[in-house]
Each structure stands twice: as C-alpha cells, then as structure tokens.
C-alpha cells in the first residue's frame, strides 16, 4: 500500500463546494482525501475519534467551519501536529459584520487558521448561485414562488465552481499565505432580477415576493426551522440589506486571472440540466 504524505484533506467533500473541489483537484492529478460524515473518508466534527484517521498523510486542508466554535482551534492544532502546513478556510463575506453570536464557527475557523503557525488563506464568498438549484431556494423556485426579506439591495452571487477553482489554486500554488479573498460573481443583481433571469432560462413563470423579517421568521418556524437558525438567517439578510457586500469582490480574478462566471450563464447551464423543470 502506498502512503501519501502530501494529500489534500477536503472537508465537506460531499457538499456544493467540496465535491467540485475534489473533482477539480483530482483532474489536476492531486491526491485528495474526500471527507465528511458520508464521504469516502469518514470525518465528523462531533466525533473526534474520526479526526486523526482523516488527517493521516495530509499536508493541506480545505476547512469547512464546524457549528461548534470550540472545535475549530482543537482541529487545527491536531492537524498541524499531524503535519498539515497549509489551510484554506471557507468562510463567508460579511462574517466580520454580523453580530458575533451568529455564525460563531466560521469566525472561530478563521481565527484558528490565522493562529495556526501554518500557511493559511481565507475565502469569503457571497451567496452561492447554486443555492437556487442545489439548496435552500430550489424547492420554492420549482413551486414557482420565492419570498425573502432582502429588498432592492443587489447581490453579486458567486458560481460555486469559481469557489472550487480558487480553492484548488490556493491549495496547490504559492503566494496566497495570509490573504483573505472576497469571492463573488462579476455583477450584483437583485433577488427579483435573479429570479426573473432563472424564469426566463427555465421558460416558465416564477415569482419573487418581498417579506418583512418578521414574516420570513414566521415562515421558517412554520417550516420547522429552529428559532436560532431562523434568527441567524435573518441576521444574514440584515447584513445583506445594509449593503455590506453588495459590491462585487475581486478574489476570483486575483487568483485565477479570469472573470468570474456570470449569473445568466449559471442560470442557462442549470436550466439546460433541467434544474427547474
Ligand atoms: N450557501 C451559501 O450561499 C454560502 C455563502 C457563503 C458561505 N457559505 C459557507 O460555505 C460552507 C458551505 O459549503 P457547501 O455549500 O459546499 O456545503 P453544503 O452543500 O451545505 O454541504 C455541507 C457539507 O458538510 C458536511 N457536513 C455536515 N455536517 C458535518 C459534520 N458534523 N461533520 C463533518 N462534515 C459535515 C456535509 O457532508 P455529510 O452530510 O456527508 O457530513 C457536506 O459535505 C458553509 O460553511 C457555509 O456556511 C455558504
């Protein structure tokens, strides 16, 4: 059996970013450990017995933040002791603008890699375009109606493949230590315009309705979302309404030397794959 000592441990490997990152790294011939609770390599934040086997042979880690902030520094310390010398932490744009009680795991993961003594890079993406076809807004769009409390503030949605391409580049090339990259699409558009773009690409009517934060919270609670999560999501929309990350970020071009994927291109590709049929 060959034992690698230069493998890249990808946490969240079955998720939207992680599975694209695994594919991208493997296509470039890099050895990858694809880890999550249901991944090829078992890794569970809440079961520390899974950590050391996941870290075996890894020299770099793509770090998805844990929910429990206390786990971030513990994991990063264990990883550096196991030989990891490079971290890429997937965070979020605006994380330094939301009240600290929200998304504490992400803030802790950023802090842990900064304090690690290893090379580190932080990726702060905007809202993902793929939330519309692979995640939370998919079912509402298929039913023909999305309702959120965002107002007319535009959002420069980022294509998840761009995040994966940036993560792959940062994990496998030098010059990114200590950098925080803000990742977005090339232009900001309102949610109403995003839904109209999708409706046109899908060739069917889909409506967008504006909600108050109170109406949004009531909808989430009625759908069985825990109150804490509903408040966290409302805090994220409040940060977005304040316009803190409405301007496109420059990270995709800085790292990849090319323009990010535009929302209309994303929508056309997803529609062609039948996302909203
Ligand atoms: N969606 C957005 O618009 C957006 C914007 C900015 C930042 N972000 C951040 O980006 C990250 C999300 O990435 P994503 O969208 O690729 O994720 P995702 O599609 O939601 O998938 C989550 C991944 O984490 C794994 N996972 C869940 N619980 C776990 C646990 N207890 N232990 C180990 N692994 C666990 C899941 O796999 P298993 O179920 O197999 O464990 C899966 O691979 C999150 O930190 C999110 O907050 C998202």
What's the CATH code of the domain at 261?
3.40.50.720
Averages of pLDDT over each 10 residues, the chain, 277 residues? 77 98 98 97 98 97 97 98 98 90 94 98 98 95 96 95 98 98 98 98 97 96 94 91 94 98 98 97
Atom of ligand 1 nearest to the CA of 125: 6
Question: What are the tens digits of pLDDT across the range 108-124?
Answer: 999 999 999 999 999 99
The HSE-up count of residue 227 (CA atoms within 13 Å, CB side) is 0
Does some domain include residue 222?
yes
| Ligand 1 lined by 16 (C-beta under 6 Å) | yes
Q: What pLDDT is attached to residue 37?
A: 98
In testing the pocket of ligand 1, which one of 21, 32, 34, 64 has its CB within 8 Å of the most ligand atoms? 64
Does some domain include residue 241?
yes
> Do the Cβ atoms of 116 and 60 come closer than 8 Å?
no
Q: What pLDDT is attached to residue 2?
A: 47
| Ligand 1 lined by 20 (C-beta under 6 Å) | no
Which residues constitute the domain of residue 15? 7-270
Does some domain include residue 139?
yes
Would you mind telling me the total number of residues written for the chain in this entry?
277
The DSSP annotation for the chain comes to ----SSEEEEETTTSHHHHHHHHHHHHTT--EEEEETTSSEE-BTTBGGGHHHHHTTEEEEEEEPPSSTHHHHHHHHHHHHTT--EEEEE--TTTTTS-TTSSHHHHHHHHHHHTSSSEEEEEEE-SBTTHHHHSTTHHHHHTTEEEES-TT--B--B-HHHHHHHHHHHHHSSS-TTEEEEE--SS-B-HHHHHHHHHHHHTS--EEEE--HHHHHHHHHHTT--HHHHHHHHHHHHHHHTTTT-SPPSHHHHHHSSPPPPHHHHHHHHHHTTTT-
Whose Cα sits closest to atom 17 in ligand 1? 15
Does some domain include residue 277?
no
18 CA to centre of ligand 1 in angstroms: 8
| Ligand 1 lined by 86 (C-beta under 6 Å) | no
Does some domain include residue 78?
yes
Structure tokens at 226: 């825990």
Residue located via tokens 């056309």? 268
Structure tokens at 139: 């079912």
Q: What pLDDT is attached to residue 244?
A: 87
* Domain count for the chain: 1
| Ligand 1 lined by 64 (C-beta under 6 Å) | yes
Beta bridge partners of 7: 58
Q: What pLDDT is attached to residue 87?
A: 98
Does some domain include residue 161?
yes
Does some domain include residue 276?
no
| Ligand 1 lined by 48 (C-beta under 6 Å) | no
Q: What pLDDT is attached to residue 102?
A: 86
């Amino acid at each position: 059996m060959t034992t690698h000592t230069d493998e890249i441990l990808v946490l969240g490997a079955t998720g939207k970013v992680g599975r694209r990152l695994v594919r991208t790294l493997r296509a470039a011939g890099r050895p990858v450990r694809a880890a999550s609770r249901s991944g090829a390599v078992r890794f569970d934040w809440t079961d520390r017995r899974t950590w050391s086997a996941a870290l075996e042979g890894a020299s770099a880690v793509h770090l998805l933040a844990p929910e429990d902030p206390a786990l971030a520094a513990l994991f990063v310390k264990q990883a550096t002791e196991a030989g990891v010398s490079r971290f890429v932490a997937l965070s979020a744009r605006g994380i330094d603008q939301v009240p600290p009680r929200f998304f504490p795991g992400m803030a802790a993961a950023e802090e842990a890699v900064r304090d690690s003594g290893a090379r580190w890079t932080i990726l702060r993406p905007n809202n993902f375009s793929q939330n519309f076809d692979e995640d939370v807004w998919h079912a509402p769009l298929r039913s023909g109606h999305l309702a959120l409390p965002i107002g007319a503030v535009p959002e420069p949605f980022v294509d998840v493949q761009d995040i994966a391409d940036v993560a792959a580049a940062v994990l496998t090339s030098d010059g990114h230590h200590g950098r925080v990259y803000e990742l977005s699409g090339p232009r900001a558009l309102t949610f109403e315009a995003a839904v109209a773009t999708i409706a046109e690409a899908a060739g069917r009517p889909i409506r967008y309705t504006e909600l108050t934060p109170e109406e949004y919270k009531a909808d989430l609670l009625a759908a069985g979302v825990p109150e804490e999560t509903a408040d966290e999501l409302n805090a994220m929309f409040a940060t977005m309404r304040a316009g803190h990350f409405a301007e496109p970020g420059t990270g995709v071009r800085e790292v990849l030397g090319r323009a990010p994927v535009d929302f209309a291109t994303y929508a056309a590709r997803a529609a062609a794959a039948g996302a909203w049929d």
